[in-house]
Amino acid sequence: GNSVTQMEGPVTLSEEAFLTINCTYTATGYPSLFWYVQYPGEGLQLLLKATKADDKGSNKGFEATYRKETTSFHLEKGSVQVSDSAVYFCALSVKAQKLVFGQGTRLTINP
């Protein structure tokens, strides 16, 4: 079946630190990969996506590269801000079918 495994949280960093949140996947077929973000008290929002191997998705300073050889889609940001504090979800879909989410990683950035 299809599944997503994310780095265990919570993650706490200081402002301007480098961020990596690991995500690996298992899929039958060729998936599209996504990162969604959930700010406190809100629904999920699409942060970035990649639809084929070696594609890099990017948005708001965040990046993730689709690595087929390692079945990974790690989220990175060079310098985090307090406003990046949120829960981050990695997800996949195969052949435009339903999204499968990881369990989420809570990120807290301290000033």
Partner 1 sequence: NAGVTQTPKFQVLKTGQSMTLQCAQDMNHNSMYWYRQDPGMGLRLIYYSASEGTTDKGEVPNGYNVSRLNKREFSLRLESAAPSQTSVYFCASSYTSNEQYFGPGTRLTVT
The residues of the shown chain that bind partner 1, judged by CB under 8 A, are 32, 34, 41-46, 49, 51, 89, 93, 96-99, 101-104
13-48: burial string, b at 16+ Cβ within 10 Å, e else: beeeeebebebbbebeeebbbbbbbbeeeeebeebb
Nearer to partner 1, 15 or 62 (CB): 62
Nearer to partner 1, 15 or 68 (CB): 68
Least separation in angstroms between CB 59 and partner 1: 12
Least separation in angstroms between CB 43 and partner 1: 3
Whether 102 and 91 have beta carbons less than 8 Å apart is answered as yes
Least separation in angstroms between CB 15 and partner 1: 26
Burial status of residue 83 (CB atoms within 10 A of its CB: 0-12, 13-18, 19 or more): exposed
Nearer to partner 1, 9 or 16 (CB): 9
